[in-house]
């Protein structure tokens, strides 16, 4: 009993330490900025000044996604546990991307009034492209037998971008 109690924390801490991977960190950073961007859009009243945080977060996001691609390219192949961790982080990102792009779609008329919708459209295209590249780089590091599953997992992100791009298409 006592031995189990002693070993349990070790087994919990051990794998977590062993499986730390830069991809999870990068995905978490991307997720947090996606959430910040969504909040900036939701809070926005439609004034020109309020577009600043939106543009800032959106630019930061693009840089972070590119860093995520680099992290994935530089990463060694993921083992099973690391794949689970990456999948968990991806699932969170799927939700944030949906929420943020939904907020963007809801705000379309405000962007229209400032003649900014074409800019958002171009930005969404860049973001979608960068995100696809990041996904591909991550999937390449997932064990072969899990790659199809991984593709299914990131597919909703692409679908969210498609929806938003459709709405902002001039
Ligand atoms: C977000 O998810 C809901 C529920 O699956 C879906 O109906 C909606 O179209 C999605 N929106 C975007 C922008 O991805």
Taking the centre of ligand 1 as the mean of its atom positions, its distance from the CA of residue 106, in whole angstroms, is 12
CB of residue 102 inside a 6 A radius of ligand 1: yes
- State pLDDT tens for residues 34-74: 999 999 999 999 999 999 999 999 999 999 999 999 999 99
pLDDT of residue 120 exceeding 70, the answer is: yes
Token representation of residue 137: 């780089």
What value does the mean pLDDT take over residues 101-114?
98
Q: Report which of 54, 58, 36 is spatially closest to residue 45, judged by C-alpha positions.
A: 54
Q: How confident is the model at residue 21 (pLDDT cuts 50, 70, 90)?
A: confident
CB of residue 98 inside a 6 A radius of ligand 1: yes
Using CA atoms, how far residue 5 sits from 11, 15, 16, 17, 105, in Å, is 10, 17, 18, 19, 51
Taking the centre of ligand 1 as the mean of its atom positions, its distance from the CA of residue 159, in whole angstroms, is 8
Is the pTM here over 0.85, yes or no?
Answer: yes
Taking the centre of ligand 1 as the mean of its atom positions, its distance from the CA of residue 170, in whole angstroms, is 21
- Report yes or no: 86 and 135 within 8 Å, Cβ to Cβ: no
Question: Which of ligand 1's atoms lies nearest the C-alpha of 160?
Answer: 14
Reported as type and span, the H/E element at residue 101 is helix 80-106
pLDDT on residue 19? 47
Across the chain, mean pLDDT equals 91
What value does the mean pLDDT take over residues 86-107?
97
- Report yes or no: 93 and 119 within 8 Å, Cβ to Cβ: no
CB of residue 160 inside a 6 A radius of ligand 1: yes
What value does the mean pLDDT take over residues 76-94?
95
pLDDT of residue 15 exceeding 70, the answer is: no
Residues across the chain:
170
């Amino acid at each position: 009993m006592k031995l189990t109690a002693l070993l349990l924390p070790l087994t919990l801490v051990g794998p977590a330490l062993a499986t730390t991977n830069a991809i999870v960190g990068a995905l978490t950073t991307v997720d947090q900025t996606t959430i910040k961007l969504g909040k900036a859009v939701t809070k926005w009243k439609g004034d020109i000044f309020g577009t600043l945080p939106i543009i800032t977060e959106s630019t930061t996001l693009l840089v972070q996604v590119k860093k995520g691609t680099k992290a994935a390219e530089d990463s060694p192949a993921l083992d099973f546990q690391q794949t689970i961790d990456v999948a968990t982080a991806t699932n969170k990102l799927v939700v944030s991307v949906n929420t943020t792009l939904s907020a963007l779609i809801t705000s379309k008329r405000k962007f229209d009034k400032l003649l900014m919708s074409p800019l958002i459209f171009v930005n969404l295209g860049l973001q979608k492209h960068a995100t696809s590249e990041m996904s591909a780089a991550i999937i390449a590091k997932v064990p072969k037998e899990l790659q199809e599953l991984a593709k299914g997992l990131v597919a909703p992100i692409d679908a969210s971008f498609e929806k938003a791009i459709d709405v902002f298409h001039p």
